[in-house]
A and B are shown apart, each in its own frame.
Chain A
Amino acid sequence: MTEFRRVHPLTPMLRGGGYVFAIALLAFNGMTSAALGLFRRLDLQVVGIVVALVAVAFLLSLLWWRVTTYTVTSTEVVFRHGLIAKKVRTARIDRAQAVEVVHPFVARLFGLALVRIETAGGMSSRIDIGYLRVSVATQLREEILYGEATEDPGEVVVPAIPLRRSLPAALCTYSGVTAIASTVIATGLDFSGAAFVPLILATGLQVWKFVDGAYQFTARKVDNTVLISYGLANLQRKTLRINRVHAVRMHQPPLWRLFGWWRVRVSVAGYGEGTTGMTVLPVGSKETATALIELLMGTVVDPRQPEDGLRSPGKAWLVSPVDWSRQRFVLSDTYAMEYRGRVGASCAVAFRRHIQLASVHIGPLDRLLGLSTVRLALVQGPVSVQARNLAMPQAWALLREI
């Protein structure tokens, strides 16, 4: 287990992608002019320089490859690299927030992948080991997670999402509707259709991201972890440790109501890149969503709004004209839950023990009406829990309780 292992020999080429491409282009250019019979001295010089460059690059990458090694022990992962400045990165396995296999596009062409170990603490607090053959990478991930490779397929919690569900779902989000509408308008108008191009591109990109993120999405439960895999262009595998989950949010965009679809996202410590965080269900039925939340949070959540719990008083319609009567906040011994939404619907659940801090916000209009919003701050991620537009005494009582 403690021997040093090398990454795949193609690694330097993939890591230095751009440079390799530039040199290859230069070489190709030189070769073609040479082959065309333009044997001028200048071209020969160019060819000579290119050959020398390629040789030097090859030698350097060979040396670089020789010193790039990794080890997995029972407690930590060590990644060594660097030719002149030697760098050693170690991560304690019990501190790893998530271990995943990443398949960047170019590497995928060569059948290679990266193993990414996320640790809590900012943007650059991850270790990328690679590139490795996909089979080796998958094995390494399991080795890091379970001490040794397992072949346990686990229990399927989210069966593969078919394209016939993810594509319409993507088109029924705000971005999807905007993309369709702007395309229709742009083609309908003879003039100034070009003005819509940026809008179409931006929203189209969102739609693409959604389809990519939902393509062949599956989630399996193995021991205390949930393994997620998805991706059309970049095949991704993610591992979520159930005991690291701080909060989940179950959400339904307005048009999804027609189909009864829901989306589930989680906030995990150290996984807060972007506000998308970690999606554990891009689009699925209510049963799948609630089953998933039960698995992650240990409680059954009904997205229908409960009768009890804190709610905004009638005069709150002035600050929240649409949702005022559809906002509920429930605080139990273990959980804090927020329900909201009249057109769409959303339900967020957080563990009370993971609430980082609480704050009360009172805007100018709120003050006139005697209202205030209590926010519960969680680790960075897609989930936010707030008790919106409560009457002042209720808000203070809630704050005291928390």
Chain B
Amino acid sequence: MSVRRWARLPALLALAVVALAVGWYLDQILLATVVGGPLLFLALWQWWLIPVQVRNHQWCELEEELVISSGKFWRTLSVIPYGRIQYVDVSQGPLERRYGLKALKLNTASPVGNTTIHGLDAELADALRERVAERAKVKMIDL
């Protein structure tokens, strides 16, 4: 959660502050409100939205399939049978490394579908990858 907050918010907040500051310096209230206002609003909106999204981002390991849910306004729930998983990606960006997190992506033969679990603790991500890969191997279904 903190990763996404820190990844998205500072940029937005900084931009908003810069816009407001420039507007104030040039004594142009219009510029400050038109540019800075929406950015500030977006930042506050994200401040509220991200924790809610994180709360809704869940996964559940069932006997035959893995279920991933995400989203606040546009909710999705994906059911991925283990046997359909072609390969599993584990990724870690610089900010994620700082906080010891990893993202796990389950790739099927289909390009669509929301199949990524973000912000897992590193050890948990690796353990989950092992488990999923093992089950995928056992239950492999041909294309």
Q: Which chain A residues in 355-372 approach chain B with CB under 8 Å?
A: 356-364, 367
* A272: B residues at CB distance < 8 A: 111
B98 interface residue per 8 A CB criterion: no
* A360: B residues at CB distance < 8 A: 75-77
Q: Given A269-B109, A377-B112, A379-B110, answer yes or no on A357-B74 (Cβ-Cβ < 8 Å).
A: no
Question: Taking each of B84, B110, B112, B115, which has the highest tally of chain A beta carbons within 10 Å of its own beta carbon?
Answer: B110
Cβ of A369 to closest chain B Cβ, rounded Å: 14
**Interface pair A356/B108, CB less than 8 Å apart:** yes
**Interface pair A363/B109, CB less than 8 Å apart:** no
B143 interface residue per 8 A CB criterion: yes
**Interface pair B113/A357, CB less than 8 Å apart:** yes
**Interface pair A357/B110, CB less than 8 Å apart:** yes
**Interface pair A361/B143, CB less than 8 Å apart:** no
Q: Which chain B residues in 65-83 approach chain A with CB under 8 Å?
A: 73-81
Could you tell me the dominant secondary structure of chain B's interface residues? Answer: loop
The proximity string for B residues 106-133 relative to A, scoring 1 for CB distances below 8 Å and 0 otherwise, is: 0011111111000000000000000000
* A354: B residues at CB distance < 8 A: 143
* A353: B residues at CB distance < 8 A: 141
**Interface pair B73/A357, CB less than 8 Å apart:** no
**Interface pair A362/B110, CB less than 8 Å apart:** no
**Interface pair A361/B110, CB less than 8 Å apart:** no
In the assembly, what is the distance between CA of A323 and CA of B141, in Å? 36
Contacting residue for A377 out of B110, B141, B143, CB 8 A? B110
* B115: A residues at CB distance < 8 A: 357
**Interface pair B111/A359, CB less than 8 Å apart:** no
In the assembly, what is the distance between CA of A356 and CA of B84, in Å? 6
* A172: B residues at CB distance < 8 A: none
A-B contact count (CB 8 A): 61
In the assembly, what is the distance between CA of A354 and CA of B113, in Å? 15
The proximity string for A residues 371-402 relative to B, scoring 1 for CB distances below 8 Å and 0 otherwise, is: 00001011110001000000000000001001
A120 interface residue per 8 A CB criterion: yes
Q: Which residue numbers of A lie inside 8 Å of B, CB to CB?
A: 120, 246, 269, 272, 353-354, 356-364, 367, 375, 377-380, 384, 399, 402
**Interface pair B78/A120, CB less than 8 Å apart:** no
- Could you name 25 residue pairs across A and B whose Cβ atoms are closer than 8 Å? A120-B143, A246-B143, A354-B143, A356-B84, A356-B108, A356-B109, A356-B113, A357-B79, A357-B80, A357-B84, A357-B108, A357-B110, A357-B113, A357-B115, A359-B77, A359-B79, A359-B114, A362-B75, A363-B73, A377-B110, A379-B109, A380-B109, A380-B110, A384-B112, A399-B77
Cβ of A17 to closest chain B Cβ, rounded Å: 32
**Interface pair B75/A399, CB less than 8 Å apart:** no
Q: Given A377-B110, A377-B112, answer yes or no on A357-B76 (Cβ-Cβ < 8 Å).
A: no
In the assembly, what is the distance between CA of A377 and CA of B113, in Å? 7
For this complex, into which size category does the number of interface residues on chain B fall?
Answer: 20 to 34
Cβ of B108 to closest chain A Cβ, rounded Å: 4
In the assembly, what is the distance between CA of A379 and CA of B73, in Å? 27
Closest chain B residue, CB of each to CB of A396: B77
* A359: B residues at CB distance < 8 A: 76-79, 113-114
List 4 additional contacts besides A364-B74, A377-B110, A402-B79; criterion CB under 8 Å: A357-B78, A357-B115, A358-B79, A359-B79
In the assembly, what is the distance between CA of A136 and CA of B111, in Å? 37
7 pairs of A and B residues whose beta carbons are closest in the complex = A377-B110, A359-B78, A356-B110, A356-B108, A362-B75, A377-B113, A360-B77
**Interface pair A377/B73, CB less than 8 Å apart:** no
Closest chain A residue, CB of each to CB of B112: A377
Q: Given A354-B143, A357-B84, answer yes or no on A378-B78 (Cβ-Cβ < 8 Å).
A: no
Cβ of B74 to closest chain A Cβ, rounded Å: 5
Closest chain B residue, CB of each to CB of A373: B76
* A364: B residues at CB distance < 8 A: 73-74
Closest chain A residue, CB of each to CB of B106: A357
In the assembly, what is the distance between CA of A362 and CA of B69, in Å? 11
In the assembly, what is the distance between CA of A363 and CA of B74, in Å? 4
Closest chain A residue, CB of each to CB of B75: A362
In the assembly, what is the distance between CA of A377 and CA of B81, in Å? 12
Cβ of A393 to closest chain B Cβ, rounded Å: 15
Closest chain B residue, CB of each to CB of A97: B143
**Interface pair A367/B109, CB less than 8 Å apart:** no
**Interface pair A378/B76, CB less than 8 Å apart:** no
